[in-house]
């Protein structure tokens, strides 16, 4: 049986973890994104917490408790699953970014009222 070729930059052949087989620049970039995502997740949760419950349904979005669960769970996953070694933090980041990009502007617009 032919022997596997060693991965460039890894001692002893194959990497023992995913992060060892990835170039260091990619690891740094993912770590920065992960670290920046933690306060964004906390902000999304706090923003959802202080909004009126009827604003979510008026904006045609999920209910306030649903978004509290999504953003709170996302922030918790970002804080607990550390860095680029796992994939779970990406799910937490996506959940909080969906709130920030899609839900937050609509809820804020509903609460401000008409611009007339």
Dump pLDDT digits (tens) for 30-73: 889 999 999 999 999 999 999 999 999 999 999 999 999 999 99
DSSP 12: T
Structural tokens at position 46? 């706090």
Predicted TM-score (pTM) of the model is: 0.75
Token match 């617009």: residue? 109
pLDDT digits (tens, 9 = 90+) for 13-35: 666 666 566 678 877 888 899 99
Residue 14 has φ and ψ, to the nearest 5°, of -85, 150
Span between the terminal Cα atoms of the chain, in Å: 76
Structural tokens at position 109? 């617009």
């Amino acid at each position: 049986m032919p022997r596997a070729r060693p991965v460039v930059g890894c001692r002893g052949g194959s990497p023992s973890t995913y992060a060892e087989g990835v170039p260091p620049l990619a690891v740094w970039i993912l770590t920065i994104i992960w670290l920046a995502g933690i306060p964004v997740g906390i902000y999304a949760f706090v923003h959802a917490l202080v909004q009126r419950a009827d604003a979510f349904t008026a904006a045609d979005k999920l209910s306030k408790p649903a978004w509290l669960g999504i953003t709170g769970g996302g922030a918790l996953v970002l804080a607990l699953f550390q860095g680029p070694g796992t994939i779970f933090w990406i799910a937490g980041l996506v959940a909080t970014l969906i709130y920030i990009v899609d839900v937050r502007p609509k809820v804020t617009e509903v609460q401000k009222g008409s611009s007339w």
